[in-house]
Amino acid sequence: MYVPSSFAETDINVLHHFIEQNSFATLVTHRDDEPFASHIPVLLDRNQGEYGQLIGHFAKANPQSKTETLQNVLTIFHGPHAYISPTWYEAPDLVPTWNYQAVHVYGRYSVIDDPGQLKEILKQYVSFYEAAQPTPWTMKNVDPAFADQLLQSIVGFTINIERIEGKFKLNQNHPVDRREKVIKALQQQRNDNAQAIAAQMKAHLPD
């Protein structure tokens, strides 16, 4: 990913938090000499290796489930994004742009097909995504025979992270007064992405 120094985010804790908050990712692998992508939720284990480990699963019917162990793969985590009009700067000789946040994770893929390990992966998914529910659902709600049948239809994986790139493009290359004008304009937009980018831009203003 092209990451100008103005927009680079390198703090591993910030990047890990971003991954956890934006866990519906795009996983890109290679199959038959072509890139192949799936859009799936991916979990992060911060405590594995130097940069952490990603955990996920595919349906066996998905051709990407045949990805070979040790293939170098790319997982893209998408954050909020918003169009930026040059009129908001109230300055001459500027052009439209797009503000956004994204994190790219590179690492080695490993297949998991052991039923016990697959069940643990599913438990981690349920625990992570149900945590915010008033009455969290658990795997105990599933008939054991049905659960075993489900396990036969999926393939799990881990990705040992070797490199993480974070790009938080939030107008850091502009003076603070222009950034504040963009924040104000975004706050007047009626969509969640614009509001989220405004909040991130405000958080990244110098103290």
Confidence of residue 202 (pLDDT cuts 50, 70, 90): very high
CA distance 147 to 179: 52
CA distance 198 to 97: 15
CA distance 71 to 96: 38
Phi-psi region of 157 (alpha: psi -120 to 50; beta: other; left: phi over 0): beta
Confidence of residue 146 (pLDDT cuts 50, 70, 90): confident
CA distance 92 to 173: 16
CA distance 122 to 99: 35
Whether the Cβ atoms of residue 160 and residue 110 lie closer than 8 Å to each other: yes
* pLDDT at residue 122 is higher than 90: yes
pLDDT (average), residues 166-183:
97
Q: Nearest-CA neighbor of 186 among 81, 78, 79?
A: 81
Q: Which pTM value belongs to this model?
A: 0.94
* pLDDT at residue 145 is higher than 90: no
* Each residue's pLDDT tens digit, 9-64: 999 999 999 999 999 999 999 998 899 999 999 999 999 999 999 999 999 999 99
